[in-house]
Amino acid sequence: MPIDQIYQNGEHYDLLFPESHATPHFWLACGRDYGDPILELACGTGRLAIPLAQQGARVTGIDLSVSMLAAAQRKAAAANVTLDLHLADMRDFDLGDRFALVLLANNALCHLHTVADFEACMAAVRRHLQPEGRFVIEVFVPNLQLLLTPPEERQLFALYDDPAGAGPILVTYSSWYDSATQIKHNTTYYQFPNHSDKVTGTLPMRMYFPQELDALLLYNGFAIEDKFGDAERHPFDATSTMQIFVLKAA
């Protein structure tokens, strides 16, 4: 599971995806309702882990990016909370603990590209889940119009100021969709200040369609307690753009 340019610098990541609003109350409510300890897979720079820890929960996070974990550690220290962070692959980890709540948020499920990847991750979650624990997944509903975007079409991804003060950084991307593997292959292009060459990265993302994902979860040992279409807990239906699952081990 290679790390794209997007995930190689935690400071750049937080500017690339600015936190324009407070942590959705859905996640804080999960922490209150299901208790701790809490494990977040692909925890990144701590956007969910830190608010949950501020709420009093004992929070563990794993991620594949050293820089993202370092940013999470810095932000946690600034917030005066403690996170238990580990460099680990969500397909194969052993933390020697079991959790009341496991989170896989922010579309990180799309980094599981194959059925084997999915099965390995689900098995690892089951090993770490308490008998009455909950596993919560958040992932978007694939947008067919976006999947059919011509691969030669370059689109704006973000424009943000370099954290070192060098000036604006322009990020664009192009993509093509492989319907056989259900992977959307994204190529990212970073135009850094005072550099004529663009830095490119690749970001393949597996698309998970609703009925398929329901079946995969059931066949991998989970019972669907709830499925919502957004963080406001509206029931999932044909108008939903998100898939949010509350799962228990079957």
| Bigger pLDDT: 18 vs 47 | 47
Q: Work out the pLDDT band at 84, boundaries 50, 70, 90.
A: very high
Query: How far is it, in rounded angstroms, from Cα 11 to Cα 9?
Result: 6
Q: What is the pLDDT of residue 111?
A: 95
Note the pLDDT of residue 20.
52
- Mean pLDDT score across all residues of the chain: 90
Lowest mean pLDDT: which of 34-38, 116-120, 134-138, 190-194?
Answer: 190-194
Q: What is the pLDDT of residue 189?
A: 86
**What are the pLDDT digits (tens) for 175-226?**
999 999 999 999 888 888 877 767 778 889 999 999 999 999 999 999 999 9
User: What is the mean predicted confidence (pLDDT) over 32-39?
Assistant: 95
Report whether pLDDT(157) > 90. no
2 prior amide bond cis, ω within 30: no
Q: Which residues pair with 222 in a beta bridge?
A: 249
Q: Residue 219 has what pLDDT?
A: 97
pLDDT exceeds 90 at position 48: yes
Percent of the chain with pLDDT over 70: 91
What is the mean predicted confidence (pLDDT) over 80-93?
96
Q: pTM to 2 decimals?
A: 0.89
pLDDT tops 60 at residue 108: yes
Task: Give me the mean pLDDT over the 228-232 stretch.
Answer: 93
Q: What's the CATH code, domain 5-141+208-249?
A: 3.40.50.150
pLDDT for residue 196? 72
Q: Which of 89-93, 112-116, 191-195, 218-222 has the lowest mean pLDDT?
A: 191-195
The predicted structure's pLDDT at residue 24: 75
